[in-house]
Amino acid sequence: MELRLFVMLSELLMPQITSGIGIILVLVFFVTSLDLGSLVIDTITAAGKTYGPLPQRVFWCVILGLVAIALFLGGGLAALQTMAVTTGLPFAALLLLMCVGLWKGLRQAVDNKN
């Protein structure tokens, strides 16, 4: 499963170059995701301050990186995907509840206006 990208790229012209670009893009994706995750956690733990203390941001970045490395070494890509889905489900439920609240609020605003 993990090598399907490279199998597909080997069928294109210049497979070494496209594979190198693919690796760079995957690395950029992981680095930006890690940076965004650490920013969100840092903002939460800094009581909503966008720019919390730098050591705290570095701490969360290192912890998230170590967790990702441990999951990847322990179970590979499947473990990372399982973790992403598992942590995303509660947020999906929260978003659904927020949609219901927004709908009720809009209906109440329309009823009060009429």
Q: Quote the pTM value.
A: 0.56
pLDDT of amino acid 1:
63
DSSP 13-52: SSHHHHHHHHHHHHHHHHHHHHHHHHHHHHHHHTTT-SS-
pLDDT of amino acid 76:
74
pLDDT of amino acid 108:
93
List the chain residues with pLDDT less than 50.
none
pLDDT of amino acid 74:
79
Distance (Å, rounded) from C-alpha 105 to C-alpha 99? Answer: 10
